[in-house]
Chain A
Amino acid sequence: MDAVGLLCPQPVIRLASAARAHPAGTVLAVYSTDPASGPDVAAWCRMRGHELLDQVPVPSASSTAQEQVTAQEPATVPVLVSRVRLRGAPSAAAG
């Protein structure tokens, strides 16, 4: 899920929209250059009961999302990838 170039709270808003469109157990990977996305994706997972698997900074050059970045985005802005496993409603099968 490419949120590169978006500033807070957009990355989390995009993540929340994407989460509504996917079933429990889906793993979403959020790519973001927003400095707040580290704490905020983690906080959103905590508030919504989803599982934060990991958050890894990736060199911009190796990020597949970087290919979609507009020309204005500097190539050196660090990209953080947050992987989230969606939990379902309590009555749903475990993801």
Chain B
Amino acid sequence: MAATPGLPSSSEPPVPEDRPAPGPPRRVFLDAATVAPPHPVARQVLLAALDEGWADPRRLHHEGRRARQLLDGAREAIAAVFGARTEEITFTASHTAAVHAGILGVLRARRRVGTRVVTSAVEHSAVLQASSFDQAEPVRVTVDHDGVLNLPAFGAAVSAPGTALACLQSANGELGTLQPVAEAAALSAPVHVPLLVDHATAAGHSPTPPGWQLLTADPRSWGGPGGLGVLAIRAGTPWLSPAPEHEGTEQLPGDVPVPQALAAAACLQAVSAEQEHLDEVRRELVDRIRHAIAAIPDTEVFGPVHARLPHVATFSCLYLDGETLVRELDALGFAVGSGSACTTAAGEPSHVLAAIGALTHGNVRIGLPTQVDPAGVNAFCAALPGLVRRIREQLGVDEL
């Protein structure tokens, strides 16, 4: 593992401390797709950088210049992983802020071209919301039953006059589906429509696809700290900051928490360096989960078998409600997510599940952290059939 950029290097790469995972040992955390548990490298670098990088990086004194050095090191390291130039990386306060600024900035720069924003139907909600904000006209392109973008429909949509921007995720965070980003870019580039690729769930776990003009990412998804987002803008992309003038280090207002930025960068490097190994281990564990679900009657597993992220999966159980399932699994020590309406504040089911015609009730979302314990996954697979059967019996639906 490369030495952490900017920090005093020891003779050996940092060794992850021998700490117990967050929470009591019996907990099995399987909801890591959006917010992963802190990676050991992130924790270690954050604590060390707190003493080295707390000062304002714009100041001219020694402490300020030290913070600036660490911030630039973080920027450069993240740029390298995403295939960007250092100056193309902007830190934001959150992934949502990065998405909003990316989209609104292109709309602002291209307002004479039009206000159409073409997106897939299964984008992150921040993309859907920003693309329908104010004057923007959202154009949603359908996906197939695996959640893969309909390329001919995308091509037709971006070619229509008045199209300012196209947005396509690198992979879907619920289904794991890898999107055909290179092919989509080949359709949007000839008509001069910039492509924003939301790399939120995939960054660090899957290679960065080529062809983006804007890229957004969330450090929490690779085990980095919260309170930070990443927006990359290729030089030459039409983009005007949608925020007032400011005097900061970034292309958007707001100061960057330097220790967090360095921890995010070091962690991204660490996870990316192990990407192949983590893919192999977690892909096999997700396959085990998929097989275990398939053996339970009246359940559906979603997303493609092969062209998917290594660490996520989602399935639905007929006649169960998501909230009961999540709470019962939690009581057994398993932390999972859900796309069912009853588990959301708005009371709406996952738009991703709805877009692929999936059953939305009784839904469970799985995201394996990088430090996943295979024994925990085995315990989950063993517990699920009995739990589903018991809940169905309690509801009186086992005969339906």
Partner among B300, B319, B357, B358 whose Cβ is within 8 Å of the Cβ of A9: B319
The 9 closest A-B CB pairs, nearest first, are A43-B359, A9-B361, A8-B361, A36-B349, A16-B400, A36-B341, A39-B354, A36-B360, A35-B348
Judge whether A47 and B361 touch: CB under 8 Å.
Answer: no
Nearest A residue to B324, CB-CB: A9
Q: Which of chain A's residues 37-53 have a Cβ closer than 8 Å to chain B? A: 38-40, 42-44, 46-47
Chain B residues with Cβ below 8 Å from A39 are 349, 353-354, 357-360
Given contacts A12-B361, A36-B360, contact A7 B341 (CB under 8 A): yes
Q: Can you pick out 22 interface pairs between chain A and chain B where the beta carbons lie within 8 Å of each other?
A: A8-B321, A8-B360, A9-B319, A9-B361, A9-B362, A12-B319, A16-B319, A20-B400, A34-B341, A35-B347, A36-B360, A36-B361, A39-B353, A39-B354, A40-B360, A40-B361, A43-B316, A43-B357, A43-B359, A47-B298, A47-B318, A47-B359
- The secondary-structure label for the interface of chain B is loop
As a 0/1 sequence over residues 10 to 26 of chain A, the CB contacts with chain B under 8 angstroms (1 = contact) are: 00110011001000000
- Shortest CB-to-CB span from B297 to chain A, Å, is 10
Judge whether B360 and A43 touch: CB under 8 Å.
Answer: yes
In this complex, the interface size class of chain A, counting residues with CB under 8 Å from chain B, is 10 to 19
In this complex, the interface size class of chain B, counting residues with CB under 8 Å from chain A, is 20 to 34
Chain A residues with Cβ below 8 Å from B359 are 39-40, 43-44, 47
Given contacts A36-B360, A47-B359, contact A13 B395 (CB under 8 A): yes
Chain A residues with Cβ below 8 Å from B342 are 7-8
Judge whether A42 and B357 touch: CB under 8 Å.
Answer: yes
Judge whether A44 and B340 touch: CB under 8 Å.
Answer: no
Partner among A13, A16, A36 whose Cβ is within 8 Å of the Cβ of B340: A36
- Shortest CB-to-CB span from A38 to chain B, Å, is 7
Judge whether B397 and A38 touch: CB under 8 Å.
Answer: no
Nearest A residue to B355, CB-CB: A39
- Shortest CB-to-CB span from B16 to chain A, Å, is 42
Chain B residues with Cβ below 8 Å from A44 are 318, 359
